[in-house]
Amino acid sequence: MIPFLKMHGLGNDFVVLDARPGGGCEGLDVTPDLARAIGDRHRGVGFDQLAVIADDAGADALLTFWNADGTTAGACGNATRCVAAHLARAGGRERLLLRTERGVLDCRRAEGGIAVNMGAPMLDWREVPLAEDVDLDRLPVEGGPAATGMGNPHCTFFVEDAEAAGLAGYARFETHPLFPERTNVQVASVAGPDRLRVRVHERGVGPTLASGSSACAVACAAHRRGLTGRRVILVMDGGELEVDWRPEGEDAGLWMTGPTAHVFDGVWHG
Determine whether the annotation assigns residue 12 to a binding site.
yes
Determine whether the annotation assigns residue 163 to a binding site.
no
DSSP symbols for 197-223: EEEEEETTTEEES--HHHHHHHHHHHH
Tell which residue, 188, 194, 187, has the closest CA to residue 245.
194
Determine whether the annotation assigns residue 202 to a binding site.
yes
Determine whether the annotation assigns residue 212 to a binding site.
yes
Determine whether the annotation assigns residue 172 to a binding site.
no
211-221 burial, b if ≥16 CB within 10 A, otherwise e?
bbbbbbbbbbb
Residues whose CB falls within 8 Å of the CB of residue 85, separated by 6 or more in sequence, listed in order: 7, 113, 114, 260, 262
Length of the chain, in residues: 270
Query: In whole angstroms, what is the distance from residue 8 CA to residue 70 CA?
Result: 19
Determine whether the annotation assigns residue 67 to a binding site.
yes
Helix (H, G, I), strand (E, B) or coil at 224: helix
Determine whether the annotation assigns residue 195 to a binding site.
no
Tell which residue, 18, 29, 85, 23, has the closest CA to residue 51.
18
Determine whether the annotation assigns residue 213 to a binding site.
yes
Our answer to whether residue 107 is catalytic in this structure is: no
Determine whether the annotation assigns residue 117 to a binding site.
no
Residues whose CB falls within 8 Å of the CB of residue 250, separated by 6 or more in sequence, listed in order: none
Of 25, 76, 107, 216, catalytic: 76
Binding site for substrate: residue ranges?
Answer: 12, 49, 67, 77-78, 152, 184, 202-203, 212-213
Task: Provide the annotated active-site residues.
Answer: 76
